[in-house]
């Protein structure tokens, strides 16, 4: 039986006196997709930050391949919902992605090609649309050879076609062995791979029964053409 | 123009070159890392350290740097402890800035030190000596080494500090190194432009260079070239017009911004 790639046991976190997460247990297998659902303010972003090591839990632990996260946090990439990036920074997309790889641009093109941004390699990152920026951040995570990709509300600000594309991209990443964990509070595109689903409610994580994908969600059509 | 052939102009000219290269190179990194306000604080916080150094017979370079670093660390510790918002943090920083200047002036009066306050604040390039040139040259070399050796780290700090922490880069140590090199350049530039005017040479060439730069490297090269031209022009005009070079350079930086606005508008 495969060992879990990322494992959290008894995670708890509090903001001052206010307890946000209690007793969170989670196992993420290689080449899997996990979806964490929950209402706004449920603690989804906090949980992802704990899984990346950005926050220290008040109790419990997180292990990557059985070892503490410290020293290997690079292998867990978090794409936040609202990244505090300086998008006006003078840097081209190719160099932006290569920076994460820690090497020259030769390591960059595959990552850009995987997310479909290779034609934009020479563009300044400030000129990218919101959907392109999100894919650029995913390319950056791929360039650093992250084993686990954490995505916070990745579909929240995307249009219909972009959601389908991102879902298909995540499907290809999962099939190549990357573990994906994403948070969502709305509908998901049907191109997303079959996933383990959890509900984060009142600070606890509850596994949800597997559901077949139904075509409940369709991209909007342009009424003018 | 004949005066420029005199050998005693060589040191001020070389000092202007070193200053015109160092300040904009540093400034480009500081602008991108959004540390300009902190740098302004350091520029004024140097003064008490320099005065105390003179009083105790210690090298003013080191006491000035220590004073500047202490002020920055104190302010950042206060901001972190008080959980202030950006507006309150800015007010706190500017209070310490003004207080540092006041403390420096008070120390000069109380200790009755023969300190050239005007020279410290506004620079006195034309009477700079070999020690000033060596200090500035050393600061330039150290700065170039720091930029070269930590190029990708400085990119992370300016582009995505949170991403840098995700990758376990030593963000705190990098900020400390940046603060130390800032203090070194600011103290060293005192002879040329003075503590009150150094910010113009740090910021204006950087802003002009960043306008259309497609990479950090391109921005650094352009900023250095612009800063060199401004400094040399200030030095030459100071001789020709018999005006103080520090204020001339600072005023030239303002013209630089006006010219940029005309071109872009």
Question: Where are the alpha helices (H) located in A33-102, listed in sequence order?
Answer: 44-52, 93-101
Between CA A218 and CA B201 the distance in angstroms is 56
Distance CA(B123)–CA(B100), nearest Å, equals 18
Distance CA B134, CA B30 (A): 24
Query: Does A20 map to a domain?
Result: yes
Domain total of chain A: 1
| Residue A155, domain member (yes or no) | yes
Q: How far is CA A28 from the centre of its chain?
A: 13
- Domain containing A184 — which CATH number? 3.40.50.300
Give the pLDDT of chain A (225 residues) as one tens digit per residue: 578 999 999 999 998 888 899 999 999 999 999 999 998 888 999 999 999 999 999 999 999 999 999 999 999 999 998 888 999 999 999 999 999 887 655 556 688 988 889 999 999 999 999 888 988 999 999 888 899 999 999 988 788 888 888 899 999 999 999 999 999 887 888 888 888 999 999 899 999 876 544 333 444 443 333
**B211 to chain A, closest Cα gap in Å:** 9
Task: Provide the greatest CA pair distance for chain B.
Answer: 59
Tally Cβ neighbours within 10 Å of residue A14: 15
pTM of structure: 0.87
- Are the beta carbons of A91 and B216 separated by less than 8 Å? yes
Window 137-156 of B: residues touching A by CB (8 A cutoff) are 152, 155-156
What is the four-CA torsion angle of B26, B29, B35, B39, rounded to 10 degrees?
Answer: 0
Contacting residues of B for A71, CB less than 8 Å apart: 168
The residue range of the domain holding A38 is: 6-82+146-207
A18 by DSSP, 3-state: which? Answer: strand
Question: What confidence tens digit (pLDDT) does each residue in B108-129 have?
Answer: 889 888 888 888 888 888 888 8
CB A83 to CB B162 under 8 A? yes
B116-130 burial code (b ≥16 CB/10 A, e <16): eeebbbbbbbbebee
Residue B135 near residue B185, CB atoms below 8 Å: no
Residue A24: phi, psi to the nearest 5? -85, 125
- B216 to chain A, any CB pair closer than 8 A? The answer is yes
Residue A123 falls inside a structural domain: no
Element (H, E) at A7: strand A6-15
Predicted ipTM of the assembly: 0.85
Identify whether A138 is part of a domain: no
Those residues whose C-beta lies under 8 Å from the C-beta of residue B215, and which sit 6 or more positions away, are A90, A91, A92, A95
Identify the helix (H) or strand (E) that includes residue A198.
Answer: strand A196-201
CA distance A49 to A57: 10
Residue A182 belongs to some domain of the structure:
yes
CA distance A34 to A23: 18
Q: HSE, CB side, 13 Å, CA atoms: give it for residue A124.
A: 16
Cβ atoms of residues B120 and B63 within 8 Å: no
- Interchain proximity A77–B165, CB inside 8 Å: no
Asked whether residue A43 is assigned to any structural domain, the reply reads yes
What is the number of residues in chain B?
Answer: 265
Residue A122 lies in a domain: no
Residue A153 lies in a domain: yes
Chain-chain contact of A89 with B163 (C-beta, under 8 angstroms)? no
Token output for B58? 């210690």
- How close A74 comes to chain B (CA, Å)? 5
Interhelix angle B151-159/A93-101, nearest 10 degrees = 120
pLDDT at position B118 is 85
Chain-centroid distance, C-alpha B255: 19
Cβ-Cβ contacts under 8 Å, A52 against chain B: 166
């Amino acid at each position: 039986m495969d060992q879990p790639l990322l494992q959290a046991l008894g995670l708890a976190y509090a903001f001052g006196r206010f307890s946000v997460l209690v007793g969170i247990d989670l196992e993420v297998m290689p080449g899997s997709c996990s979806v964490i659902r929950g209402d706004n303010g449920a603690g989804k972003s906090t949980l992802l930050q704990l899984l990346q090591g950005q926050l220290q839990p008040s109790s419990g632990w997180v292990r990557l391949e059985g070892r503490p996260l410290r020293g290997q946090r690079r292998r867990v990439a978090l794409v936040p919902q609202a990244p505090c990036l300086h998008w006006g920074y003078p840097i081209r997309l190719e160099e932006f992605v290569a920076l994460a790889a820690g090497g020259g641009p030769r390591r960059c093109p595959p990552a850009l090609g995987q997310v479909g941004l290779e034609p934009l390699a020479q563009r300044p990152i400030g000129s990218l649309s919101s959907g392109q920026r999100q894919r650029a951040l995913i390319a950056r995570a791929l360039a650093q050879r992250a084993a686990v990709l954490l995505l916070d509300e990745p579909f929240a600000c995307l249009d219909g076609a972009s959601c389908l594309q991102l879902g298909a991209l995540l499907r290809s990443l999962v099939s190549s062995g990357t573990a994906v964990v994403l948070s969502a509070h709305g509908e998901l595109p049907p191109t997303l791979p079959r996933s383990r689903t959890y509900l984060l409610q009142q600070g606890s994580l509850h596994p949800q029964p597997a559901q077949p994908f139904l075509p409940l969600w369709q991209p909007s059509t342009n009424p003018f053409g | 123009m004949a005066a420029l052939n005199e050998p005693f102009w060589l040191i001020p000219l070389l000092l202007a070159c070193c200053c015109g290269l160092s300040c904009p190179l540093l400034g480009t990194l500081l602008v991108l890392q959004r540390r300009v306000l902190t740098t302004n604080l350091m520029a004024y916080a140097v003064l008490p350290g320099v005065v105390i150094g003179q009083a105790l017979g210690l090298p003013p370079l080191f006491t000035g740097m220590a004073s500047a670093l202490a002020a920055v660390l104190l302010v950042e510790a206060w901001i972190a402890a008080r959980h202030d918002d950006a507006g309150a943090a800015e007010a706190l920083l500017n209070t310490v800035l003004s207080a540092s200047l006041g403390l420096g002036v008070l120390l000069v009066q109380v200790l009755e030190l023969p300190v050239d306050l005007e020279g410290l604040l506004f620079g006195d390039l034309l009477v700079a000596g070999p020690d000033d040139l060596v200090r500035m040259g050393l600061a330039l070399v150290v700065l170039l080494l720091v930029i070269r050796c930590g190029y990708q780290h400085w990119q992370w700090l300016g582009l995505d500090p949170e991403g840098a922490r995700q990758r376990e880069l030593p963000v705190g140590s990098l900020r400390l190194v940046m603060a130390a090199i800032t203090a070194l350049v600011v103290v060293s530039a005192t002879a040329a432009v003075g503590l009150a005017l150094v910010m113009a040479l740090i910021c204006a060439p950087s802003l002009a260079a960043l306008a259309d730069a497609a990479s950090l490297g391109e921005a650094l090269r352009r900023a250095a070239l612009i800063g060199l031209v401004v400094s040399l022009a200030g030095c030459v005009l100071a001789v020709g017009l018999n005006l103080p070079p520090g204020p001339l350079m600072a005023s030239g930086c303002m013209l630089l911004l006006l010219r940029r606005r005309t071109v872009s508008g």
